[in-house]
Structure 1
Amino acid sequence: MTGLRYVYAVCRPFDAPLQVQLTGVGGAPVKMLAHHGLVAVVSPVPEGDFAEAPLREHLEDLDWLGATARAHQQVVDALTAVTTPLPLRLATVFRDDSGVRVMIESGEEAFRRTLDRLDGRVEWGVKVYVEGGEEQPEAAALAAKPASGRDYLRQRRNRAQEREDKWRAAERFATRLHGTLAAHAEESRLHAPQNSPLTRGSGHNVLNAAYLVPRAHSEEFVELVDHTKDEEPGMRVELTGPWAAYSFVDPEGTGAGDAGGREDTSGEVV
């Protein structure tokens, strides 16, 4: 295998077959590199793109970064379907197989400890959005033109009170939902709400949480989320997964990172 080594994840040896003709970054075939009872999932990548200098430049190119993140995620998703992977940071690159083996040896204790803790578990993501929380457009506001200054002030107070009531209801709903889901998960993590430009749909994100759930209990967890979707008018509940347990990996000592390039990389080749 020529070229640098791009490493997607570390896992234990497994017998289940991966999907046929699985490819990674740049369409390269994925290989398993076994060492010390662990497996690094790797593919070759060209130095022209992944040596230290060009990689740093590419990380400023959003199109390139997005394509690389999707290819990275495709491999991790395929692994998640058959085993428990420990995903590494986006663009984790080594010069050769020997560098990958050194990485496994240096992090072996942390890898094994984390894989033991996450074995048989997957991550589910849940987001809650307040629908229709945007400011009323100017044209709509003028359609109900107040008859006097007093009416204008009253309308402003009423709109402000409606917004406040809606946000309070959203906070209560999100808090209640998180408590219910966390009670049915082994672990949970609260992430910062996403900014509106980053969300795929309308509304303001008021809950952005991850839940660690045994794979065998995933169906019950999904049903629990489904039952909450219509509990509170004006709220949209979004469920994603199952994912590899990105949110429940301690990056210290493992080199593990977040999904899809959400965690910065140094751009260094080791």
Structure 2
Amino acid sequence: MDGLIYLYGLIPAHESRERTLPSLKGFDGRGEIYTIPIGSITALVCNLDPHEYSEDSIKDKTNNDMEWLQEKAFHHHETVLKLSKMYTIIPLKFCTLYMNQTSLEKTVRDHEAKMMDTFELLTGNEEWNLKIYCDDELLKTKVSQNNPVLEAKRAEISELPKGKQFFEKKKLDKLLESELEEEKNKVSEKIHEHLKEFALKGNVKKTWGSNVTGRKDDMTWNGVYLIGDSKVEEFLGQIQQYEKDMKETGWRFEASGPWPAYHFSSFSK
């Protein structure tokens, strides 16, 4: 079939035969999502008008129409999420387009062996996300009271003449900030390494600023984990224990999932 194709994801062909695809509206809100069998893999796609969704048109909408972008990104996310609850899916990024079915089929066949390995990795496993936040002021009190580097600096300052103490105390404030960041990283890394014991894989993502999260406390860690179904409850239980044990010193934990496995599957266009 000729015409522009929007690709949501790829699933094993046998799962497509075993489970009927539900009725889901496509990217343009008019057509429906359907399947294209390609050997041992099935593509989940919809058709788009090549003029309405040309490369220039999409670029213009993405850069200049925030309402359109939010609506379409939400559609993509929600659609892939629904499909991931039915199938073992390799999810594709927002606005993955092919000029025609022939182009899509060639690309899938060229990467078929790698995709089959990915399906094997994902089967029976779930992607979970953990964001760790910290109230700097609460943690700063603990760091300030129990840090040998800061204690040594305070002792050094106390031996100085009064005039020099003022400037050295300014340096002490900067040193405290540095030690605070080191403490946050050290604690977060230790937690991440522990949680990886429950997972097949664990990766670190970029943290988000407060302008994105809308929170007053800082995000100190953003991790993703691929976890076997049987280990999820234990994984979440450990996070709850961290929250209980560390709440008084300003730490907060936000686990979410399961999500489509964007971080543990890849597909090269």
TM-score (norm 2): 0.76
- 1:164 is displaced (CA, Å) by 5.0
The counterpart of 2:40, out of the listed 37, 41, 45, is 37
3-state SS of 2:69 partner? helix
Corresponding residue number in structure 2 for 1:23: 25
- 1:115 is displaced (CA, Å) by 1.7
Instruction: Check the 8 A contact 1:11/1:86 in 2, yes or no.
Output: yes
CA deviation profile, 1:80-134 (whole Å, cap 9, x unmatched): 1122111122211123333322222222222222222222222111111122559
Distance in 2 of aligned mates of 1:131 and 1:3: 52
Q: Percent of counterpart pairs with the same letter? A: 21
Structure 2 portions without partners, runs of 5+: 139-162
Instruction: Check the 8 A contact 1:133/1:163 in 2, yes or no.
Output: no
Alignment of 1:135-146 (within 5 A): none
Change in CA separation of 1:223 and 1:52 when aligned onto 2, cut-off 3 Å:
same
Distance in 1 of aligned mates of 2:125 and 2:198: 13
CA deviation profile, 1:242-261 (whole Å, cap 9, x unmatched): 1122112244xx33xxxxxx
The counterpart of 2:215, out of the listed 193, 201, 204, is 201
Distance in 2 of aligned mates of 1:209 and 1:178: 7
Distance in 2 of aligned mates of 1:192 and 1:21: 36
3-state SS of 1:33 partner? strand
Q: Give the aligned residue type for 2:251.
A: M
Aligned alpha-carbon RMSD (Å): 2.9
The counterpart of 1:244, out of the listed 249, 257, 260, is 260
Does residue 176 of structure 1 match 2:176? no
Corresponding residue number in structure 2 for 1:226: 240
Instruction: Check the 8 A contact 2:198/2:231 in 1, yes or no.
Output: no
- 1:58 is displaced (CA, Å) by 2.1
Distance in 1 of aligned mates of 2:202 and 2:26: 30
Corresponding residue number in structure 2 for 1:146: none
Instruction: Check the 8 A contact 2:207/2:220 in 1, yes or no.
Output: yes
- 1:161 is displaced (CA, Å) by 6.5
Distance in 2 of aligned mates of 1:212 and 1:98: 33
Specify which structure has the bigger relative contact order, considering alpha-carbon pairs within 8 angstroms and separated by 6 or more residues.
1
Corresponding residue number in structure 2 for 1:188: 202
CA deviation profile, 1:1-49 (whole Å, cap 9, x unmatched): 885210011110312345x532342324211111202110001222233
Distance in 2 of aligned mates of 1:99 and 1:38: 15
Change in CA separation of 1:234 and 1:4 when aligned onto 2, cut-off 3 Å:
same
Distance in 2 of aligned mates of 1:64 and 1:168: 41
Structure 1 portions without partners, runs of 5+: 135-148, 256-270
Alignment of 1:110-149 (within 5 A): 110-131=114-135
Distance in 1 of aligned mates of 2:190 and 2:35: 43
Corresponding residue number in structure 1 for 2:4: 4
Change in CA separation of 1:226 and 1:22 when aligned onto 2, cut-off 3 Å:
farther
TM-score (norm 1): 0.76
